[in-house]
């Protein structure tokens, strides 16, 4: 199993290629047969790109990946629960340049 640094380094080139701003990994996932991620999609907007992005992540991790676009979550309780149980594993460097 990869540690968080390995995961972050492995996911970076894929996320950069698709223009994703941030990716978070769930730390409270109940599913043992998949990895739970959420993202700030950035430039990744088409459903085709999202499916291709997910497929690449599944190839990388060798297991199913469930990914949720944080911008599409309308349920505030669900969103808060997600935020309470996840860690940032990738952030596009261009976002930090504006800080």
The pLDDT, as a whole number, for residue 75 is 81
Which residue is associated with the tokens 């978070």?
24
With a cut of 60, say whether residue 97 has pLDDT above it: no
Nearest to 20 by CA among 97, 78, 95, 96: 95
**Ordered structural domains, the chain, with CATH:** 4-93 (3.30.460.10)
Q: Which tens digits make up the pLDDT trace of 29-78? A: 566 678 889 899 888 778 899 899 999 999 999 999 988 888 888 888 87
The pLDDT, as a whole number, for residue 99 is 47
| Confidence (pTM) | 0.81
The residues, any chain, with a CB within 8 Å of residue 59's CB and separated by 6 or more, are none
Find out whether 54 and 23 touch, Cβ atoms under 8 Å: no
């Amino acid at each position: 199993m990869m540690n968080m640094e390995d995961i972050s380094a492995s996911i970076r080139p894929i996320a950069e290629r698709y223009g994703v701003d941030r990716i978070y990994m769930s730390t409270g996932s109940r599913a043992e047969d998949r990895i739970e991620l959420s993202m700030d999609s950035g430039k990744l907007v088409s459903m085709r790109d999202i499916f291709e992005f997910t497929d690449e992540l599944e190839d990388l991790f060798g297991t199913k990946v469930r990914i949720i676009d944080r911008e599409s979550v309308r349920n505030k309780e669900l969103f808060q629960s997600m935020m309470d149980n996840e860690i940032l594993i990738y952030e596009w460097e261009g976002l930090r340049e504006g800080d």
